[in-house]
Structure 1
Amino acid sequence: MPERQVTEVEGRRLVLSHLDKVLWPATGWTKGEALYYYAQIAPAMLPHLRGRAASFLRFPAGIGEEGFFAKNPPPGLPDWVRTVTAPSHEGPKQRVAVDDLPTLMTVANGYALELHVPQWTAESGPDAHDRLVVDLDPGPGADLTHCCLVALLIREALAADGLVCRPKTSGSKGLHLYAALRPTPAREVSDYARALAERLAREYPALVVSRMTKALRRGKVFVDWSQNATAKTTAAPYTLRATSVPGVSAPVSWSEVEQCTDPAELTFSPEQVLDRFAEQGDLLAELLSDDQALPDPAD
């Protein structure tokens, strides 16, 4: 295969390189296969990325070698790629907005194997979050099945507050739960998520922990509410994950969560995710149209 291939994607000229380079040595999965996956999943993935200040986990030497987390737009980025302003400790910074297929292919060609986005869009601004996210992370001695049990508890708790949430796998060991919101001040979203996690930890102390301290997490699920901070990002729906074999942060149905008895039941390869999308569509599609309000803290 040629080292460089010139192609056109939606009217944009792209130069794709090293497509036969193996990025996942355990399976022989190549850069070309990663680009093919992103091109095929783009109709489902892009709506969840559009307008959000993306950051990337890049692995130029492949999985198993040292990667790095990148927030700044990479050198040589085409001038047609849109950037948006995001806050940082050093003041406002420009970040890539993965709004379209040419941009997605450009960043993936630059070895951005994982894409992460915040819970706000540039349109509403960093202090107006349109998603509540809860990251369920199993500690030692716990696994994805324990996360499923906690997810059902969270679904019930949110429903009592009039909120519908939707699940996806983290693509590694845990689950992510999303509730779409009308733009809401970041502090209110973060405070609500924290109160929810702390309440569950009090009510189910043998199963749930709300503090990050690793010594507290054995046999339990850490309900990470901190992902709602404006500066934090979460693995985007459908992103590849830098696991030893290619993993995907894949939307799942609540019936799959309810029936899960083995982590393998909610572990999907990129090929399986493409098949699921072809058969079921985007299981997170309603997240894009939901418009929910957090309960009034005074109630």
Structure 2
Amino acid sequence: MVSNPAAVVEAAGRQVRVTSPDRVVYDPTEATPAITKLAVCEYYAAVGDALMRAMGERPTAMERWPDGWREGMRLATSTQDRDADGFYQKRLPRGAPDYVESVRITFPSGRPADELCPTEPAAFVWAAQMGTLTFHPWPVRRPDVDHPDELRLDLDPQPGTGFADAQRVADVARELLVELGLRGYPKTSGNRGIHIYLRIRPDYSFEEVRHAAIGFGRELERRDAGVTTAWWKEERGQRIFIDFNQNNRDRTIAGAWSLRARPGAPVSTPMTWEQLAEVRDPRDFNLTSVPDFLSDGDPWAEMDDEAFSLEPLLNLWETLPGGELNFPPDYPKMPGEPPRVQPSKKVAAHWDDQGNRIEK
């Protein structure tokens, strides 16, 4: 078999070589044609300026699908999961071009890594050439990787709820932010959820930002019965879960303007609040339509104009009842954390007041 010749994609004046340009990355759907590797690379070149505003200088994990994405394919859940079709690349691979830069970050375990740090649009195109579909940036920038400059509110629909429910909760969140003197910037998740970003002063630890997200979520629970901050799935019900743990160190969500590994190449699309309210199907915002949508202006262009204090949200954390919530299972046991056991399986006598298991 004769392989297809490589193509070249230009990104902000730099040429990036794309091998196997005709490889189908997304199968056709009723709404979108088959999408090739070249089309993915051209998409990231087309939205390069907006990508740099959202992700420039940020440590960024790459969600790679080397053979493209198809229904039924699976993303690896750990480094030992070698039979999966896609995986997270958290260390910049060897052999990257000189213009593809990295930054040293530290995982919760204390282990360091040199992760992709985009400094120009061509870095995204190079990553797409390497099979990256989704970019997962940290909420920090290279000058200070230990203090977030972004609070991220992840509105995650649980079974029995959908995008319309997330829209309703997002509007409640918008009203609360306005009351607190804060400005949030929403985007679709590229699936059924909604993300709300808040530019903050880089004066806080990851733990403080997480507590601010919990405080915000608890106030949303008070205002809307369809919201929950319950960590255990068995307690969430048919509500919108505020995933506060996405604000932990090395926890990321799909970045702005990123493609998602779902039918039709949907995009996690930044919007104004007015635009978000008008969306009926988030799948309408995909690789084929988003460049035209962005041509009318970047809805997040002003995000860096003002950085806010977290004190209003930390006050909610301090004053609303509930205390500490669970961390992800791969985290070390944290101070004040409840027992890491499903409530339905918990036997009170087996745990002390600090959430530590009592060995018999």
Residues in 2 aligned to 1:265 and 1:93: alpha-carbon distance in whole angstroms = 35
CA deviation after TM superposition for structure 1 residue 12, in Å: 4.8
Within a 5 Å distance, the mapping from 1:46-65 to structure 2 comes to: 46-64=52-70, 65=73
Q: Is the partner of 1:251 in helix, strand or coil?
A: coil
- 1:108 correspondence with 2:128: yes
> How many Å separate the matches in 1 of 2:173 and 2:283?
18
1:40 equivalent in alignment to 2:46? yes
CA contact (8 A) 1:132 1:180 kept: yes
Q: Which residue of 2 aligns with 1:22?
A: 24
Secondary structure in structure 1 of the residue aligned to 2:311: coil
Q: Is 1:167 the equivalent of 2:186?
A: yes
Q: Is the 8 A contact 1:171 1:241 kept in 2?
A: yes
Q: Which amino acid aligns with 1:52?
A: R
Match of 1:198 in 2: 218
- Counterpart of 1:198, as a letter, is R
Q: In structure 1, what is the Cα distance between the partners aligned to 2:188 and 2:251?
A: 18
Name the Cα RMSD after superposition. Answer: 2.1
- 2-side partners of 1:61 and 1:265: how far apart? 25
Partner SS state of residue 184, structure 1: coil
Stretch deviating more after TM superposition (3-12 or 84-93): 3-12
Q: Distance in 2 between matches of 1:217 and 1:9?
A: 44
Structure 2 CA distance for partners of 1:149 and 1:136, relative to 1, 3 Å: same
Q: Which has the higher strand share?
A: 1
Question: Are residues 1:273 and 2:279 paired?
Answer: no
Q: Judge which range, 45-54 or 267-276, deviates more.
A: 267-276
Alpha-carbon distance between aligned partners in 2 of 1:109 and 1:131, rounded to the nearest angstrom? 28
| TM-aligned CA distance change 1:4 to 1:164, over 3 Å | same
Q: CA deviation at 1:7?
A: 6.2
Structure 1 residue ranges (4+ consecutive) displaced by more than 4 angstroms after TM superposition: 6-13, 296-299
Q: Report the equivalent of 2:334.
A: none
Q: Percent of aligned pairs with the same residue?
A: 29
Could you say which residue in structure 1 is the equivalent of 2:322?
A: none
Native 8 Å contact 2:264 2:283 kept in 1: no
Instruction: Give distance in 2, aligned partners of 1:265 and 1:80.
Output: 34
**Residue in 1 that maps onto 2:344:** none
Does the 8 Å CA contact 2:9/2:41 hold for their aligned counterparts? no
The letter for the 2-side match of 1:287 is: M
Deviations 1:96-147 (A, max 9, x none): 1112122111111000111010111111x23321111101111111111100
Change (3 A) 1:143 1:191: same
Distance 1:17 1:294, change over 3 A: same
Q: In structure 1, what residue type is equivalent to 2:294?
A: F
Which piece of structure 1 moves more, 88-97 or 7-16? 7-16
Structure whose alpha-carbon radius of gyration is higher: 2
Rounded to whole Å, the distance in 2 between the matches of 1:285 and 1:103 is 20
Which of 284, 291, 295 aligns to 2:307? It is: 291
Structure showing greater relative contact order (alpha-carbon pairs closer than 8 Å, 6 or more residues apart): 1
Q: Is the 8 A contact 1:181 1:291 kept in 2?
A: yes
Matched residue SS, 2:201: strand
Q: Partners of 1:298 and 1:272 in 2: how far apart?
A: 41
Q: Which of 111, 114, 117 is equivalent to 1:94?
A: 114
- For residues 137 and 8 of structure 1, what CA distance do their matches in structure 2 show? 36
Find the aligned partners of 1:224 and 1:275 in 2 and give their Cα distance: 31
Deviation string 1:241-274 (CA, Å, 9 cap, x unpaired) is 11122100001221133345x3x16741222111
The letter for the 2-side match of 1:73 is L
The offset of 1:75, in angstroms, is 3.0
Change (3 A) 1:16 1:195: same
Q: TM-score, normalising length from structure 1?
A: 0.91
Q: Provide Cα deviations, 1:42-62, integer angstroms capped at 9, x if missing partner.
A: 111111111100001100111
Q: Does 1:128 align with 2:140?
A: no
Contact persistence 1:51–1:97 (CA under 8 A): yes
Aligned-residue offset at 1:214: 2.3
Residue 341 of structure 2 corresponds to: none
Aligned length: 294
Q: Gapped runs of 5+ residues in structure 2? A: 74-84, 317-360
Greater CA drift, 52-61 or 286-295: 286-295
* TM-score with structure 2 setting the length: 0.76
Q: Give the direction of change, closer, same or farther, for the CA distance of 1:246–1:128 in structure 2 (3 Å limit).
A: same
In the TM superposition, residue 6 of structure 1 has moved relative to its aligned partner by 5.2
Preserved contact between residue 187 and residue 270 of structure 2 (Cα < 8 Å): yes
Aligned-partner Cα distance in 1 for 2:39–2:53: 22
Cα separation, 1, equivalents of 2:293 and 2:308: 27
